[in-house]
Structure 1
Protein backbone atom coordinates (compact mmCIF):
# COMPACT_ATOMS: atom_id res chain seq x y z
CA UNK A 1 0.00 0.00 0.00
CA UNK A 2 1.41 3.38 -1.01
CA UNK A 3 2.39 5.95 1.60
CA UNK A 4 -0.04 8.88 1.89
CA UNK A 5 1.26 12.42 1.51
CA UNK A 6 -1.53 13.92 3.63
CA UNK A 7 -3.15 13.11 6.97
CA UNK A 8 -5.73 15.03 8.99
CA UNK A 9 -5.87 15.45 12.77
CA UNK A 10 -9.06 14.64 14.69
CA UNK A 11 -9.49 18.32 15.53
CA UNK A 12 -9.29 19.27 11.83
CA UNK A 13 -11.76 16.49 10.97
CA UNK A 14 -14.27 17.99 13.41
CA UNK A 15 -13.90 21.45 11.86
CA UNK A 16 -14.22 20.05 8.33
CA UNK A 17 -17.46 18.33 9.37
CA UNK A 18 -18.81 21.64 10.69
CA UNK A 19 -17.80 23.46 7.50
CA UNK A 20 -19.44 20.82 5.31
CA UNK A 21 -22.72 21.22 7.24
CA UNK A 22 -22.63 24.96 6.62
CA UNK A 23 -21.08 25.19 3.13
CA UNK A 24 -21.44 21.81 1.41
CA UNK A 25 -18.55 20.27 -0.52
CA UNK A 26 -15.12 21.76 0.13
CA UNK A 27 -11.66 22.01 -1.35
CA UNK A 28 -8.29 23.00 0.11
CA UNK A 29 -5.50 24.98 -1.49
CA UNK A 30 -2.09 25.74 -0.07
CA UNK A 31 -0.34 28.56 -1.85
CA UNK A 32 3.19 29.82 -1.53
CA UNK A 33 2.21 33.46 -1.99
CA UNK A 34 2.82 36.58 0.01
CA UNK A 35 -0.59 37.47 1.43
CA UNK A 36 -1.68 34.19 2.93
CA UNK A 37 1.83 32.82 3.28
CA UNK A 38 1.69 29.06 3.18
CA UNK A 39 -1.44 28.73 5.29
CA UNK A 40 -3.84 26.16 3.80
CA UNK A 41 -7.07 27.77 2.66
CA UNK A 42 -10.47 26.06 2.70
CA UNK A 43 -13.04 27.04 0.08
CA UNK A 44 -16.41 25.85 -1.10
CA UNK A 45 -15.93 23.39 -3.95
CA UNK A 46 -15.19 25.44 -7.06
CA UNK A 47 -14.42 28.54 -4.99
CA UNK A 48 -10.81 28.48 -6.13
CA UNK A 49 -9.27 27.14 -9.30
CA UNK A 50 -5.87 25.46 -9.10
CA UNK A 51 -3.32 26.65 -11.65
CA UNK A 52 -1.70 24.57 -14.34
CA UNK A 53 0.64 21.98 -12.84
CA UNK A 54 -0.52 22.51 -9.23
CA UNK A 55 -0.35 19.26 -7.25
CA UNK A 56 -3.24 17.32 -5.75
CA UNK A 57 -1.47 15.57 -2.87
CA UNK A 58 -4.44 13.85 -1.26
CA UNK A 59 -7.86 14.27 0.26
CA UNK A 60 -8.87 15.80 3.59
CA UNK A 61 -12.00 13.91 4.64
CA UNK A 62 -12.76 13.25 0.98
CA UNK A 63 -12.08 16.79 -0.24
CA UNK A 64 -9.15 17.60 -2.55
CA UNK A 65 -6.04 19.20 -1.07
CA UNK A 66 -4.12 21.12 -3.74
CA UNK A 67 -0.64 22.58 -3.31
CA UNK A 68 0.82 25.37 -5.41
CA UNK A 69 3.16 23.94 -8.05
CA UNK A 70 6.21 25.88 -6.83
CA UNK A 71 5.53 25.18 -3.16
CA UNK A 72 5.10 21.49 -3.94
CA UNK A 73 8.54 21.35 -5.56
CA UNK A 74 9.97 22.65 -2.30
CA UNK A 75 7.92 20.31 -0.07
CA UNK A 76 7.61 17.19 -2.27
CA UNK A 77 9.80 15.19 0.13
CA UNK A 78 7.56 16.01 3.11
CA UNK A 79 4.43 14.55 4.65
CA UNK A 80 1.64 17.07 5.37
CA UNK A 81 -0.62 16.81 8.42
CA UNK A 82 -3.60 19.17 8.32
CA UNK A 83 -4.42 20.55 11.76
CA UNK A 84 -6.43 23.46 13.15
CA UNK A 85 -5.58 26.12 15.72
CA UNK A 86 -7.64 28.65 17.61
CA UNK A 87 -7.09 32.20 16.39
CA UNK A 88 -6.69 33.96 13.09
CA UNK A 89 -3.98 33.03 10.62
CA UNK A 90 -2.38 35.36 8.11
CA UNK A 91 -5.10 34.77 5.51
CA UNK A 92 -8.69 35.85 5.78
CA UNK A 93 -10.33 34.12 2.83
CA UNK A 94 -10.59 30.63 4.29
CA UNK A 95 -14.00 29.38 5.47
CA UNK A 96 -12.86 28.72 9.05
CA UNK A 97 -11.75 32.33 9.64
CA UNK A 98 -15.16 33.63 10.85
CA UNK A 99 -15.15 30.82 13.43
CA UNK A 100 -11.92 32.10 14.98
CA UNK A 101 -9.99 29.09 13.68
CA UNK A 102 -7.15 28.61 11.24
CA UNK A 103 -5.95 25.54 9.40
CA UNK A 104 -2.26 24.75 9.75
CA UNK A 105 0.02 22.13 8.25
CA UNK A 106 2.69 20.27 10.18
CA UNK A 107 5.48 18.84 8.04
CA UNK A 108 7.92 15.99 8.45
CA UNK A 109 10.38 14.61 5.93
CA UNK A 110 9.68 11.19 4.48
CA UNK A 111 12.14 8.41 5.23
CA UNK A 112 14.07 6.82 2.37
CA UNK A 113 11.74 3.80 2.52
CA UNK A 114 8.65 6.02 2.38
CA UNK A 115 10.03 7.98 -0.58
CA UNK A 116 10.28 4.74 -2.54
CA UNK A 117 6.54 4.02 -2.07
CA UNK A 118 4.65 7.33 -2.16
CA UNK A 119 1.16 7.78 -3.53
CA UNK A 120 1.30 9.43 -6.94
CA UNK A 121 0.56 13.13 -7.26
CA UNK A 122 -2.08 14.34 -9.70
CA UNK A 123 -1.21 17.52 -11.60
CA UNK A 124 -3.79 20.06 -12.76
CA UNK A 125 -3.79 20.22 -16.54
Structure 2
Protein backbone atom coordinates (compact mmCIF):
# COMPACT_ATOMS: atom_id res chain seq x y z
CA UNK A 1 0.00 0.00 0.00
CA UNK A 2 1.41 3.43 -0.99
CA UNK A 3 1.13 6.76 0.71
CA UNK A 4 -2.40 7.76 1.67
CA UNK A 5 -3.52 11.12 0.22
CA UNK A 6 -4.58 13.67 2.82
CA UNK A 7 -7.01 15.28 0.37
CA UNK A 8 -9.01 13.78 -2.51
CA UNK A 9 -11.76 15.06 -4.81
CA UNK A 10 -15.15 13.64 -5.82
CA UNK A 11 -16.06 13.06 -9.47
CA UNK A 12 -18.60 15.92 -9.45
CA UNK A 13 -16.12 18.34 -7.88
CA UNK A 14 -13.49 17.27 -10.40
CA UNK A 15 -15.87 18.10 -13.24
CA UNK A 16 -16.39 21.58 -11.78
CA UNK A 17 -12.62 22.08 -11.44
CA UNK A 18 -12.29 21.29 -15.16
CA UNK A 19 -14.84 24.01 -15.98
CA UNK A 20 -13.13 26.53 -13.69
CA UNK A 21 -9.67 25.78 -15.11
CA UNK A 22 -10.97 26.54 -18.61
CA UNK A 23 -12.32 29.89 -17.42
CA UNK A 24 -9.57 31.00 -15.03
CA UNK A 25 -6.44 28.95 -15.72
CA UNK A 26 -4.42 27.29 -12.92
CA UNK A 27 -6.24 27.13 -9.58
CA UNK A 28 -5.42 26.87 -5.89
CA UNK A 29 -7.59 25.71 -2.99
CA UNK A 30 -7.45 26.97 0.58
CA UNK A 31 -9.37 25.65 3.57
CA UNK A 32 -9.52 28.06 6.47
CA UNK A 33 -11.05 27.65 9.88
CA UNK A 34 -13.18 30.77 9.92
CA UNK A 35 -16.60 30.70 11.54
CA UNK A 36 -18.45 31.07 8.26
CA UNK A 37 -16.36 28.99 5.90
CA UNK A 38 -15.02 26.16 8.05
CA UNK A 39 -16.38 23.46 5.73
CA UNK A 40 -16.08 25.39 2.48
CA UNK A 41 -12.76 25.28 0.71
CA UNK A 42 -12.12 28.40 -1.31
CA UNK A 43 -10.99 28.18 -4.93
CA UNK A 44 -8.82 30.97 -6.34
CA UNK A 45 -6.74 31.66 -9.44
CA UNK A 46 -3.38 30.17 -8.46
CA UNK A 47 -1.44 33.43 -8.64
CA UNK A 48 -4.03 35.51 -6.78
CA UNK A 49 -3.81 33.98 -3.31
CA UNK A 50 -0.80 34.46 -1.07
CA UNK A 51 0.15 31.39 0.95
CA UNK A 52 1.44 32.22 4.43
CA UNK A 53 3.59 30.60 7.09
CA UNK A 54 0.44 29.37 8.85
CA UNK A 55 -0.79 27.39 5.84
CA UNK A 56 -0.18 23.64 5.51
CA UNK A 57 0.13 22.00 2.08
CA UNK A 58 -1.97 18.82 1.95
CA UNK A 59 -1.48 17.76 -1.65
CA UNK A 60 -2.95 18.23 -5.09
CA UNK A 61 -6.50 17.71 -6.32
CA UNK A 62 -6.81 17.61 -10.10
CA UNK A 63 -3.38 19.23 -10.33
CA UNK A 64 -4.37 22.12 -8.05
CA UNK A 65 -2.45 22.70 -4.81
CA UNK A 66 -4.58 22.41 -1.68
CA UNK A 67 -3.68 24.25 1.53
CA UNK A 68 -5.31 24.42 4.94
CA UNK A 69 -4.82 26.90 7.76
CA UNK A 70 -2.55 25.47 10.46
CA UNK A 71 -5.13 25.82 13.25
CA UNK A 72 -7.77 24.02 11.18
CA UNK A 73 -5.24 21.35 10.22
CA UNK A 74 -4.66 20.58 13.90
CA UNK A 75 -8.36 19.73 14.23
CA UNK A 76 -8.51 17.68 11.02
CA UNK A 77 -5.05 16.09 10.75
CA UNK A 78 -6.45 12.66 11.65
CA UNK A 79 -8.88 12.77 8.71
CA UNK A 80 -8.76 12.52 4.96
CA UNK A 81 -10.47 15.52 3.38
CA UNK A 82 -12.85 14.77 0.54
CA UNK A 83 -13.63 17.78 -1.62
CA UNK A 84 -17.14 17.58 -3.00
CA UNK A 85 -19.60 19.98 -4.61
CA UNK A 86 -23.22 20.81 -3.78
CA UNK A 87 -25.79 23.26 -5.09
CA UNK A 88 -25.80 26.69 -3.51
CA UNK A 89 -23.56 29.66 -2.93
CA UNK A 90 -20.17 29.31 -1.28
CA UNK A 91 -17.74 31.94 -0.15
CA UNK A 92 -18.18 35.14 -2.09
CA UNK A 93 -14.57 35.17 -3.30
CA UNK A 94 -14.48 31.53 -4.37
CA UNK A 95 -14.55 31.02 -8.14
CA UNK A 96 -17.39 28.48 -8.25
CA UNK A 97 -20.03 30.92 -6.93
CA UNK A 98 -21.32 32.08 -10.34
CA UNK A 99 -21.85 28.43 -11.31
CA UNK A 100 -24.60 28.07 -8.67
CA UNK A 101 -22.48 25.46 -6.89
CA UNK A 102 -20.13 25.44 -3.93
CA UNK A 103 -17.28 23.24 -2.90
CA UNK A 104 -17.76 21.40 0.38
CA UNK A 105 -15.26 19.53 2.53
CA UNK A 106 -16.29 16.16 3.86
CA UNK A 107 -13.94 13.99 5.86
CA UNK A 108 -13.31 10.52 7.14
CA UNK A 109 -11.01 9.36 9.93
CA UNK A 110 -7.86 7.58 8.77
CA UNK A 111 -7.65 3.90 9.68
CA UNK A 112 -4.84 2.76 11.98
CA UNK A 113 -3.02 1.26 8.98
CA UNK A 114 -3.34 4.53 7.07
CA UNK A 115 -2.06 6.52 10.04
CA UNK A 116 1.08 4.35 10.05
CA UNK A 117 1.72 5.33 6.41
CA UNK A 118 1.37 9.08 7.00
Q: TM-score band, normalised by the shorter chain?
A: over 0.9
Aligned length: 117
3-state SS in 1 of match to 2:12: helix
CA distance in 1, matches of 2:78, 2:36: 25
Residue in 1 that maps onto 2:110: 110
3-state SS in 2 of match to 1:46: helix
Contact kept, 8 Å, 2:39 with 2:106, in 1: the verdict is: no
Deviations 1:64-120 (A, max 9, x none): 00000100011000001110011113x2110000111100011010011100102xx
Residue in 1 that maps onto 2:74: 73
Residue in 2 that maps onto 1:123: none
How large is the Cα RMSD of the aligned pairs?
Answer: 1.1
Moved more, 42-51 or 59-68: 42-51
Deviations 1:27-59 (A, max 9, x none): 000000134333100000122112203111111
Unaligned runs of 5+ in 2: none
Q: Could you say if the C-alpha distance between residues 75 and 27 of structure 1 is closer, same or farther in structure 2, counting changes exceeding 3 Å? A: same
Q: Larger helix proportion, structure 1 or 2?
A: 2
Residue in 1 that maps onto 2:33: 32
